Every structure is written in structure tokens, then in C-alpha cells.
Amino acid sequence: MATLNAFLEVAGGHDGDKLLPFMTEQLRSQFATTAQIWGQGDFDHVGWQVTAQSRISDTEWEFQVTESCRDWGGGGIFYNHYAVGMIYRDGRWQVSRFDFIER
């Protein structure tokens, strides 16, 4: 899904404000304070992998994605897991859910 790929590309850059245009209005309001601190972690983004997807309806999908990261100090790879919901609304796909699952 092109919108999911574009969203994840921006998320990998850890600029929270750039994530907001992809989101539904409700999610933007919930994520606004998180966006200000997004990317202040002490790690580098390596890549994303969609590990599961589920079609809820013609206009709604759920994805599980894994982010590969590397510690700044040259340490090993670690992984963050997220649930991402997508909904087709107003003629375009939007992110309706972006939840951290575990590290």
C-alpha cells in the first residue's frame, strides 16, 4: 500500500511533524504531543518490515510492522513493533492507528 510505505519512510526519519499529514484528524490530535518528541531516541533507524496484515473491510486494514534500529554507540540491532491501522476516507488512505507494541 503506497500510503503505508510513504508513512513508514517518513517515520524512519523520526520527524513527527511530517507524520501528521498522513493521519486521520483524530489520530493527529492524539499524536500531537508525541510528534514533538518523536525521534529523540539514541538510535538510528535501519528499516521497516510489514510482518502481518489483515483486511478488516474494503475501507480498513490493520498492519503489524517491525522497525529495525541500531544503537548510536555502534551496538547491535534491536527491534520496535507497531500496529498501524489504515482507513480509506475522503478519497484517500489515511493512518487511523499507530501504536507501539513492544521493543
What average pLDDT does range 16-39 have in this prediction? 79
pLDDT digits (tens, 9 = 90+) for 42-84: 678 889 999 999 999 999 999 999 999 888 777 788 898 999 9
Residue 20: pLDDT band with limits 50, 70, 90: confident
Domain 2-102 sits in CATH at 3.10.450.50
Q: What are phi and psi of 86, to 5 degrees?
A: -125, 140
What's the Cα-to-Cα distance from 26 to each of 23, 32, 47, 53, 78, rounded to whole Å?
8, 10, 27, 22, 30
pLDDT at residue 35, rounded to an integer: 66
8 Å CB contact between 20 and 35: yes
Cell numbers of 92, please? 484517500
Q: Tell me the whole-structure pTM to 2 decimals.
A: 0.84
Residue environment code for 51-83, b if the CB has 16+ CB neighbours within 10 A, otherwise e: eeeeeeeeebbebebebebeeeeeeeeeebebe
Cβ-based neighbour number of residue 17 at 10 Å: 11
Q: What residues pair up with 71 in beta bridges, in sequence order? A: 43
CB 48 within 8 A of CB 67: yes
